[in-house]
Chains A and B, each alone.
Chain A
């Protein structure tokens, strides 16, 4: 029914990651699901340029086929490394949050932060 290619699987992975982000209550697993959403986006971009009959985008003297589209790969390359740094920062914020509320349960954190009222003195 649906074509079985990288873009379709990327959409499915995006959906799985989003569901995981919404359903699971543990903060660390929410972050993992967010990482999965990142990976799904990268897969989608790379798959848009993928062809079996193409060659990897390295110019060699004896090339038998035209290279695949190098543009999505170039876009995505530095994004992967940046994602790592941002994920590390997000994990630091989760650590701070856990230190404040002494639990990794997001529902409990929400409930406790609802019953607090911060006034700036």
Chain B
């Protein structure tokens, strides 16, 4: 129940003091950082990380950091991503759909164009994902590229059309099983010491596609997760327009 209280006097404006304060703090930071020793701040010897990379067998040093040494951070961040996508779905599916299916153009050209352009976009996403341990990219970038391809298809053909291929029940099941698989795969080396399970994939020759230990596997799972999560967010934004 919402009752009324007498209103305060007028519209509150940000006091000039706050603005001046922010500017002063920014200038202070700029001045304070003037004598910062950039060379010394760099972790001495990126050789540490080069050794880590040789250990995992991946040529992309960054992959071997966030999927090797700092794997659990990455898994929890994927969890945060899932929860955010879940939140978007929860809050937006209670709203009604937009009044008409406005975004779908009726022309044949668009359908043909999407048919021609969508496979290369998805292929690029898969490429970036699978070569993530050798060249820049990885699971996050690959999943996002694939999701933007799906976005393109959704605003040209309509979310109903795309949802026929990506059915919501299947997506829901896949989302959480991928997450579970990710956690299980990460927990294996830490919990089992059986020779086969502790080190599922060999490090391989650096620079070849079959290298990097379990890193391509992690990339694939994370890429799938990000792909599905971003698609869910996009689908709900296309379907449920707010009143902004």
Give 1 or 0 for each of B136-147: 1 = CB within 8 Å of chain A CB: 101010011000
**CB-based contact B62/A74 at 8 Å:** yes
**CB-based contact A98/B81 at 8 Å:** no
**CB-based contact A85/B243 at 8 Å:** no
**CB-based contact B4/A58 at 8 Å:** no
B contact residues around A70 at 8 Å (CB): 46, 49, 61-62, 65
**CB-based contact A118/B42 at 8 Å:** no
Q: How far apart sit A69 and B40, CA to CA, in the bound complex (Å)?
A: 12
Instruction: Please name the residue on chain A nearest to B240 by beta carbon.
Output: A95
B197: Cβ under 8 A from any A Cβ: no
A contact residues around B60 at 8 Å (CB): 57-59
| Contact of A19 with B22 at beta-carbon distance under 8 Å, contacts A59-B53, A70-B49, A89-B84 already known | yes
| Contact of A85 with B61 at beta-carbon distance under 8 Å, contacts A19-B23, A78-B140 already known | no
Query: Which of B28-36, B99-107, B161-169, B178-186 is the interface stretch?
Result: B28-36
**CB-based contact B243/A58 at 8 Å:** no
**CB-based contact B38/A5 at 8 Å:** yes
Min distance, Cβ A75 to any Cβ of chain B, angstroms? 8
**CB-based contact B49/A115 at 8 Å:** no
Min distance, Cβ B19 to any Cβ of chain A, angstroms? 7
Q: How far apart sit A112 and B41, CA to CA, in the bound complex (Å)?
A: 49
Instruction: Please name the residue on chain B nearest to A104 by beta carbon.
Output: B244
Kindly identify which residue among A7, A14, A88, A102 contacts B237, using a CB–CB cutoff of 8 Å: A88
A contact residues around B229 at 8 Å (CB): 85
Min distance, Cβ A39 to any Cβ of chain B, angstroms? 16
Q: How far apart sit A88 and B236, CA to CA, in the bound complex (Å)?
A: 10
Give 1 or 0 for each of A89-121: 1 = CB within 8 Å of chain B CB: 101111110110010100110110011111101
Q: How many B residues face the partner with a CB closer than 8 A? A: 71
B9-31 interface with A by 8 A CB criterion: 11-14, 18-19, 22-23, 25-26, 29-31
Give 1 or 0 for each of A50-80: 1 = CB within 8 Å of chain B CB: 0100001111110000111111011101111
Q: How many A residues face the partner with a CB closer than 8 A? A: 64
**CB-based contact B5/A88 at 8 Å:** no
A contact residues around B30 at 8 Å (CB): 2, 8, 11-12
B contact residues around A116 at 8 Å (CB): 2-5
Q: How far apart sit A59 and B62, CA to CA, in the bound complex (Å)?
A: 10
B contact residues around A110 at 8 Å (CB): 12
Q: How far apart sit A96 and B117, CA to CA, in the bound complex (Å)?
A: 35
**CB-based contact A98/B43 at 8 Å:** no
Q: How far apart sit A38 and B24, CA to CA, in the bound complex (Å)?
A: 20
**CB-based contact A88/B88 at 8 Å:** yes
Kindly identify which residue among A12, A56, A61, A102 contacts B136, using a CB–CB cutoff of 8 Å: A56
B contact residues around A7 at 8 Å (CB): 33, 36, 38
**CB-based contact A81/B244 at 8 Å:** no
**CB-based contact B34/A2 at 8 Å:** yes
B contact residues around A74 at 8 Å (CB): 62, 65-66, 70
A contact residues around B242 at 8 Å (CB): 94-96, 98-99
**CB-based contact B34/A67 at 8 Å:** no
**CB-based contact A60/B38 at 8 Å:** no
**CB-based contact B61/A58 at 8 Å:** yes
